[in-house]
Each structure stands twice: as structure tokens, then as C-alpha cells.
Amino acid sequence: MNSSLFPRVLRTPLIAGLLGMALLGSATGVHAEGSIRIAQQFGIAYLILDVVRDQQLIEKHGRQQGLDVKVQWEAISGATAMNEALLAGSLDVVSAGVPPLLTLWDRTRGRQNVKAVAALGSLPNYLITNNPEVKTLKDLGPRDRIAVPAAGVGFQSRTLQIETARQFGKADFKRFDNISVSLAHPDATAALISGGTEVTAHFSSAPFYYQALEANKSVHKILSSFDILGGPASFNVLYTTQKFHDENPKTYKAFYAALDEAAQWIRGNKEQAAQTFIRVQKSRLSPDFVRRILEDPENDFTIVPHRTFVYAKELHELGVLKRQADSWKDYFFEEAHAGNGS
């Protein structure tokens, strides 16, 4: 696989520009109802957002309330950049894994009060390797390198830390941080397939692990995030601040309704959804390949959160989170509470 198959992420100058633009808005404290700035990352896990964008569903639901919603889309790779942009006020809604959300929820209590809007689906991540000697976590050694998008702090690293604590003890939960390297999924996938780099493992999301397992027969699965979490679990979530939620009720309602409609549409339109992903993310993957991923029963594109509380509980016990949530509803805004979440 060539990493050029996927759009390149926003680089530091552009992120700096976003933050710079935010200073003017934050200085005045003005944010008019009827506009929303959303950032997403890349991969099939963001399909719900692709559909919302492609079908202009936020604008549709805004019009139903008599509101002309202006939507601005940005692409950023990595939870750290997402969180910084949200707190700086340059973005209204960001997307990342459950652990980065929980970290921000924990740290902004009494200030920005960041909470989740909705899940983006229950999809597994696979820890895969091209090292034939590695069959389990205990086989990973100092010469191995695990590629993750955000070493030590992102979804993949936090998930691995939970399993590491179970197998090696809580005092050693960061054992594999020492051999983890930060690398975007497309680049990590290319490295694993080629086999000619220091990267010997990759905690990978769809469609990337599908590509690696298919392209190089020496690549094999060590474990899945579903194995660690006890079953199907939310991968990415959308989150925002209390201020945006409270001061933009119609815009927020239109956004949430758009997400719900997109999730329902995907379930009944897998072929068209595959085309949407390819078109919006400018992917060169074949429609048949993408559709096979969408039809995999492991992948459920739902806005209802699943097993997020496993992270809240486990990361608090590891000391990553200072605050103990009583339930998943503590860190999701109330619009999501009607769903059968966890």
C-alpha cells in the first residue's frame, strides 16, 4: 500500500493558523448560532461523518428548524492536535478515540466541561505484526517497534496499556510505551507490508489492517481491541465543550440528527456508503474492498456508545484519570442518553 492513497493530514502551520484564527473569536467570545466547525481524521471509522458531509445532512436538519447552518470541515491527524484545537476555540467539535475524550473530560471539569456528543461506531483495532516469532504480547521484545498514531496517549496506546496491566501488573502498564512509535496509519501500514523498516507491529484500524493482512501473508494478528474490552466497543467519538452545546441548541440538534440519519442510512446502503467513503476521503481503494469491510459483522456504524465505561474504569484504576465516572452518561451530553449505551 502507498500512503498516498489517503489524503495528507493538516500540518503544523495549518494547525497554527487554525489556532491563530481562534484567538480573534475567543477574544470577543462570539459564536453565532448556525455555524459549526468539525474536525475528523481518516479511515473507515469516520464513515458516519463522511456521509453527513456528502449528503449535507447538518444543513438539511438545520433548515427543518428554520436555521441556515454553515458547516466547516477540517482534517487533523492525532488526538493531541484535536484536543488543543478544541480548547483553543478554533474548532467546535472534534473526533478521536474514547481515551482522549476521557482525558479531556477529566481535565476540563469546572472549566470547558468537555463531553461526548456521540459515538462513531463500534469497530475493532487489531494489533498486527510481521514478526513470525511474535504470537502474543509476551513475545514482543526490545527490538520490536509498535506503530500507533499517538504513542503513549492515543486510543491504541491506552487500550494496550489496559491489557498490559492485566498481563504484567499495574505497575508495568506502560511497558510497551518504550517500544511504541508515533506514525500515521497509512505510513505504518506501508512499513509493515514492506518489512524493511524498524516497525514490526502496528495497532491498526480499518481499512488499514485489512490491507496489511491481505498484502503480506507474513502479517498476522496478535489481538483485537474487542478482546481487551470484552466485546464490541466504541472506537471513536465526537466531543465538544459545554459552551458550544448550551449556546447553540438548534445547531447541536441539527448535528445530532444528522449523525443519527447517517448511521441509519449506512446500514441499508452499504454499496453507496462504500462509494461515499472513496469519494469523500479520496481513496484509491476498490469499491468491492471497501464494501467487504462495511459488511464485516465486526463493524457496526452506530452513534450509540458501547463499552466506553471499560475505559473510564480501567484508566482511573491506572491513575490516568483522576476522576471516577459513575456511568457513561457522566461524559456524554444528554442527547445521547436515550440510547442503550454503555
116: nearest Cα among 225, 233, 241, 229: 241
Residue pLDDT tens, the chain, 342 long: 333 333 333 434 444 444 444 433 443 344 568 999 999 988 899 999 999 999 999 999 999 999 999 999 998 877 888 899 999 999 999 999 999 999 999 999 999 999 999 999 999 999 999 999 999 999 999 999 999 988 999 999 999 999 999 999 999 999 999 999 999 899 999 999 999 899 999 999 999 999 999 999 999 999 999 999 999 999 999 999 999 999 999 999 999 999 999 999 999 999 999 999 999 999 999 999 999 999 999 999 999 999 999 999 999 999 999 999 999 999 999 999 998 999
The predicted pLDDT at position 4 comes to 33
> Which residues are CB-neighbours of 337 under 8 A, at least 6 positions away?
329
User: What secondary structure letter does DSSP report for 8?
Assistant: P
Distance CA 91, CA 106 (A): 19
The three state secondary structure string of 62-127 is: HHCCCCCCEEEEEECCCHHHHHHHHHHCCCCEEEEEHHHHHHHHHHCCCCCCCEEEEECCECCCEE
278-327: per-residue pLDDT in tens? 999 999 999 999 999 999 999 999 999 999 999 999 999 999 999 999 99
For residue 44, CA distances in Å to 50, 120, 145, 274 come to 9, 10, 25, 9
Distance CA 57, CA 61 (A): 6
126-229 and 3-122+233-336 share a CATH fold: yes
Question: The domain at 126-229 falls in which architecture?
Answer: 3-Layer(aba) Sandwich (3.40)
In contact, 235 and 150? CB cutoff 8 Å: no
Distance CA 193, CA 188 (A): 9
Question: The domain at 3-122+233-336 falls in which architecture?
Answer: 3-Layer(aba) Sandwich (3.40)
54-96: per-residue pLDDT in tens? 999 999 999 999 999 999 999 887 788 889 999 999 999 999 9
Domain locations along the chain: 3-122+233-336, 126-229
What 3-state class would DSSP assign to 251? helix
In contact, 212 and 189? CB cutoff 8 Å: yes
Please report which residue ranges of 205-339 form alpha helices under DSSP H.
208-215, 225-229, 242-247, 249-268, 270-280, 287-295, 308-317
The predicted pLDDT at position 31 comes to 52
Place of cell 459513575: 326
The predicted pLDDT at position 77 comes to 74
The predicted pLDDT at position 26 comes to 41
The predicted pLDDT at position 78 comes to 75
Distance CA 333, CA 342 (A): 14
71: nearest Cα among 21, 31, 30, 37: 37
Please report which residue ranges of 108-180 form alpha helices under DSSP H.
155-168
pTM: 0.88
Distance CA 294, CA 95 (A): 20
